[in-house]
Amino acid sequence: MYGGMRGIKGLICETSVLDPDEGIRFRGLSIPECQKLLPKADGGNEPLPEGLFWLLVTGDVPTDAQVKAISKEWAERAELPPHVVSLLNNIPNTVHPMSQFAAAVTVLNSDSKFVKAYSSGVHKTKYWEYAYEDSMDLIAKLPVIAATIYRNTYKDGSGIGAIDTSKDWSHNFTTMLGYDNADFIELMRLYLTIHSDHEGGNVSAHTTHLVGSALSDPYLSFAAGMNGLAGPLHGLANQEVLVWLEKLRASVGDKYTEQQLKDFIWKTLKSGQVVPGYGHAVLRKTDPRYTCQREFALKHLPNDPLFKYYGLKESNYYTVLFGVSRALGVLSSLIWDRALGLPIERPKSLSTDGLMKSLKAT
Ligand code: MLT
């Protein structure tokens, strides 16, 4: 109760399970198994996130044709309503990309099919169908939102171009970001697949589930999850890690001794800060998400000391990439929450006084 509820089992999550030693399994499949079994783009080697979404929602590995149908459907649903474009184009580029992301997703709820159905009195056994429709619309639009944020914040604001219904979700995303290197497109397919879900207790998944339990629509629920992902102990850690490593390099250079590394780590800890990215609430062994990205980097970027993303070096944008991926997992779970008719989540709390009294009584 005072320790972040570490290890307390209190949630159901059907889409994935996290093993402390082995890492994540999506519907029973490990990351290497997903890399092997999920459909790939023509000529590609990495799984398509569309296939992972199908797996998370249905529990089955999709066929190539099923994945192609999702790519097409997401491309067809991708257009943003004008008020969201106008919001994004008017937010100052000094606002953190994650705040822009959550704000755009929040106002997208004007188009929520769940809200319309709920207010017209739909039967509760049908809620999941509208949660599904909103999730499909939202996932389809996320790359457009994210790319608009990128181009407005770091480039001249132009150039995201039109969605191509013959391209997959990740390929359209990289094109809109302004990167058309074939290896980068493959990296994004892999990245967007493996960061989608990390069972139910992490902050973004738990928040999306909690807010959704109040029957807030999928846009509001996911935006809430993204505000959690924006915290430095959760998703923002991938920005913070790079910032810390840059500081380390500036301090010790590229030819450092073990002692210099130890001193720098101690300096961080003794000044009351955390070393970002070290220490996971559940994992006790190397994260398989790291292992497969490291293998990718060793193959495609062997000489880069920090494995930079093909020129996408704006580290305070990285959590937005994480957020686009995380949508696949948390929205799959949200569809199931509504299908299972899960109630509003309302655990009981105690004051310290009440806790002490109940302990004395036992
Ligand atoms: C995640 O992917 O959500 C992070 O590893 C954090 C977590 O699992 O608690």
Whether 251 and 300 share a structural domain: yes
Q: CA-to-CA distance for 255 and 249, rounded, in angstroms?
A: 9
- Tell whether 42 is covered by a domain: yes
- For the chain, the domain total comes to 2
Whether 56 and 203 share a structural domain: yes
Whether 260 and 146 share a structural domain: no
Q: What is the pLDDT of residues 163-202, one digit of tens each?
A: 999 999 999 999 999 999 999 999 999 999 999 999 999 9
Copy the structure tokens of residue 280.
């996971």
What residue's CA is closest to ligand 1, atom 2? 198
Q: Which pLDDT score is estimated for 305? A: 76
Whether 225 and 302 share a structural domain: no
Mutate to test the pocket of ligand 1, among 13, 26, 241, 280 (most ligand atoms within 8 A of CB): 280
17 lines ligand 1 (CB under 6 A): no
Q: What is the CATH number of the domain that holds 20?
A: 1.10.580.10
Q: Is the pLDDT of residue 309 over 90?
A: no
Q: Is the pLDDT of residue 59 over 90?
A: yes
- Tell whether 5 is covered by a domain: no
Q: Which pLDDT score is estimated for 198? A: 98
- Mean pLDDT is lowest, of 145-149, 157-161, 193-197, 342-346, for 157-161
- Tell whether 8 is covered by a domain: no
Q: What is the pLDDT of residues 73-124, one digit of tens each?
A: 999 999 999 999 999 999 999 999 999 999 999 999 999 999 999 999 999 9
Cβ-defined contacts of 293-300 (< 8 Å, 24+): 293/190, 293/191, 293/194, 296/46, 296/186, 296/187, 296/190, 300/183, 300/187
Ligand 1 atom with least separation from CA of 204? 3
Mean pLDDT, the chain, integer: 96
**Prediction pTM value:** 0.96
Whether 112 and 254 share a structural domain: no
Whether 257 and 335 share a structural domain: no
Mutate to test the pocket of ligand 1, among 192, 198, 278 (most ligand atoms within 8 A of CB): 198
How are beta strands 23-26 and 16-19 bridged, if at all? antiparallel
Whether 135 and 255 share a structural domain: no
Whether 56 and 69 share a structural domain: yes
Kindly give the distance from the C-alpha atom of residue 235 to the centroid of ligand 1, in angstroms, as a whole number. Answer: 8
Whether 78 and 128 share a structural domain: yes
Q: What is the CATH number of the domain that holds 259?
A: 1.10.230.10
Mutate to test the pocket of ligand 1, among 18, 202, 322 (most ligand atoms within 8 A of CB): 202
289 lines ligand 1 (CB under 6 A): no
**Tell me, what DSSP letter sits at residue 340?**
T
- State which residues form the domain around 110: 16-236+314-339
Whether 73 and 200 share a structural domain: yes
Helix residue spans in the chain (DSSP H): 31-37, 49-58, 64-76, 82-90, 97-107, 113-119, 127-154, 169-177, 182-194, 203-213, 218-229, 237-252, 258-270, 288-300, 318-339, 352-361
Whether 179 and 34 share a structural domain: yes
Whether 96 and 205 share a structural domain: yes
What residue's CA is closest to ligand 1, atom 7? 202
Cα angle: 302, vertex 307, 313; to 5 degrees: 140
Kindly give the distance from the C-alpha atom of residue 289 to the centroid of ligand 1, in angstroms, as a whole number. Answer: 11
Q: What is the pLDDT of residues 192-251, one digit of tens each?
A: 999 999 999 999 999 999 999 999 999 999 999 999 999 999 999 989 998 999 999 999
